[in-house]
Amino acid sequence: MSTVSESGVVSAVNKELFIGGKWTAASGGRTFPVQDPATGEVLCEVADASPEDGIAALDAAVAAQADWAAHPPRERGEILRRAYDALMARQDELALLMTLEMGKPLAEARGEIAYAAEFFRWFAEEAVRIDGGYATAPNGSGRFLIAKQPVGPSLLITPWNFPMAMGTRKIGPAVAAGCTMVIKPAAQTPLSMLALAQILADAGLPEGVLNVVTTSSAGSVMEPLIRDGRARKLSFTGSTAVGRKLLEQCADKVLRTSMELGGNAPFLVFDDADLDAAVEGAMQAKMRNIGEACTAANRFYVQRGIADEFARRLTERMAALPIGRGTEDGVVVGPLIDEAAIEKVSELVSDAAGRGAKVLTGGATVDGPGHFYQPTVLTDVPQSARMTSEEIFGPVAPISVFDTEDEAIAKANDTEYGLVSYVFTSDLKRSLRVCERLETGMVGLNQGIVSNPAAPFGGVKQSGLGREGGTVGIDEFLETKYIAVSL
């Protein structure tokens, strides 16, 4: 892509707050910079919302709630379908915008736009399938009516690593259910959400249904909205540490919550696995989004008989990955999001090496501008290494060996997290045993990608609460009302 087209994509996005269907400057005209993580250069400035701006956005959502809840489900679905069509029609443009602000290679960014759009198509179809129930009371004296109604104004907080898909995964079911929203995108990647807001407005979403506040001070803007009492739902994707704080805040007004938090995914390879498929799955599970994903394989446990060959093949694949700015042809590994991410990955690799792990490839930053880290493979990683208990969020694959099935499961479950696991084996009985014993909300069995809008996404333990996507995804934005009818 040329510099001109890059500039044009950025300049086409409105960089103000989107409140009550209008674009408006932040209080006092404050702004904050958005940087290209591949160069460190500032792409643009966007509005920096104040707490007062946040309240104005909530005011707009509250004012629009009653009318939106009464909006015909079919029409809500048609709005989402038009937005889906627009996302797909503008896939290349939106992918470039995402690559510029987040860093992922263009091919992956295009894939994310398609993935993001699919949430709108899925929930467009779910909008007309909200049902209830009718039953006779056990003693025959009356009837039970069961209705599903919108939760109400919802607060949505999205992360930087999937700046479009994490937005549509929350907005889609909220729109389908009849909930109004205030959404706060991550400060590192606000442009994708701002572009999405305009797409939804153009698709016919009424004023006040979606309100977007961009801010460099998430806590000061969002906490007052949580404690206000008028919002009835919070959906958050981000770290477990922040999720805990938000849950404490939500307890004050007893808000409904959906929490998609951290992960520490184990990747188990048994000696009867198809090794080619296991290595391919490892590349997908580790290197999707440059390793910056809560679903990324964080710990590789390989049965002793095939451990050396698995490590050799994975090292060969990782070492061959082209690194560079995501807009360059052929690049597979883009930059990490910021300097803090580089520092954390470097610390975790140094810690593991200091405890006896061997670096087979990578293990260092890349010279020059931007936040680049080499694809890295480590072996003989001890359980005491920090990276066995902390999310790496980078292109680092630590490999450890196990001997028995029980040992593999014990190591896999030895974490406070429980988002996703990956299992590679050709033994059907073992597949069922292991999948049932793993303490995670999702399992990739002989595949390295689990995310799908038609499936319920979410974890157990400290990886979160609730599910996004699938037939249950809309339930997070619906309340169940029971009406007792006397005869």
Q: Could you give the C-alpha distances from 283 to 40, 103, 105, in angstroms and in order?
A: 27, 19, 15
Q: Which sign, positive or negative, has the C-alpha torsion 272, 392, 196, 230?
A: positive
- C-alpha 53/C-alpha 263 separation (Å) is 33
Q: Return d(Cα 427, Cα 431) in angstroms, integer.
A: 6
- Contacts of residue 331, Cβ cutoff 8 Å, sequence gap at least 6: 105, 322, 323, 324, 325
Helix then strand count (H, E) for the chain reads 14, 20
Active-site pick, 112, 126, 260, 391? 260
What is the rounded (10 degree) CA torsion for 194, 371, 457, 78?
A: 20
Catalytic site includes residue 118: no
Say if residues 298 and 416 touch (Cβ distance below 8 Å).
Answer: no
What CA–CA distances, in Å, run from 250 to 123, 247, 464? 26, 5, 14
**What kind and span of H or E run contains 421?**
strand 420-424
**CB half-sphere exposure, 117, CA atoms < 13 A:** 20
Nearest residue to 162 (alpha-carbon basis) of 327, 281, 294: 294
Cα separations (Å) of 432 from 109, 278, 426? Answer: 34, 18, 11
Neighbours of 380 (CB within 10 A): 16
Tokens encoding 319: 């070492």
Closest CA to 441 of 412, 463, 410, 414: 463
Instruction: Give CA–CA dist 192/197, Å, rounded.
Output: 9
* 358: three-class secondary structure by DSSP: strand
What is the identity of the amino acid at 157? Answer: I
User: What ranges make up the beta strands (E) of 199-328?
Assistant: 210-212, 233-237, 256-260, 265-269, 297-303
Q: How far apart are CA 193 and CA 181, in angstroms?
A: 13
Residues with a known catalytic role? 260
